[in-house]
Amino acid sequence: MPHPTPVQIAYGSATVIFTTLLLMLVVPTGSTVALVLIALVALALGVVVALAAQCRRDAGVAAGGEPSAMSAPSYEAAAAAPAPAPAVAPAQRPEVSV
């Protein structure tokens, strides 16, 4: 299972924090049950947002064949592929007049 990227962690954390603050302002939190439900909803939404960022990254790689700007470069693939030989033009001798 791949580890979450820093972008996923940032999106998920920001979603949890902002959702919790917003729900605490909107919903009356007079009981512990309401606070627990708000925390669970915010956590679930944060996980969904983090997974959506992963799916969007994977879709960018699959659609274009090239990794998008959000994905990490694949060093294994680069190391496995041989580098193409440089094209060398044939050497030309300068014309010498005697």
Instruction: Provide CB contacts within 8 A for 68, sequence distance 6+.
Output: 57, 60, 61
Residue-level pLDDT at 77: 54
The reported pLDDT for the residue numbered 66 is: 53
The structural domains of the chain, with segments of one domain joined by +, span 6-69
- Using an 8 Å Cβ cutoff, are 67 and 74 in contact? yes
pLDDT of residue 67: 52
Residue-level pLDDT at 43: 92
What's the whole-model pTM score? Answer: 0.54
pLDDT tens digits for range 17-57? 999 999 888 888 788 888 899 899 999 999 998 888 877 66
How far apart are the C-alpha atoms of 66 and 18, rounded to whole Å?
33
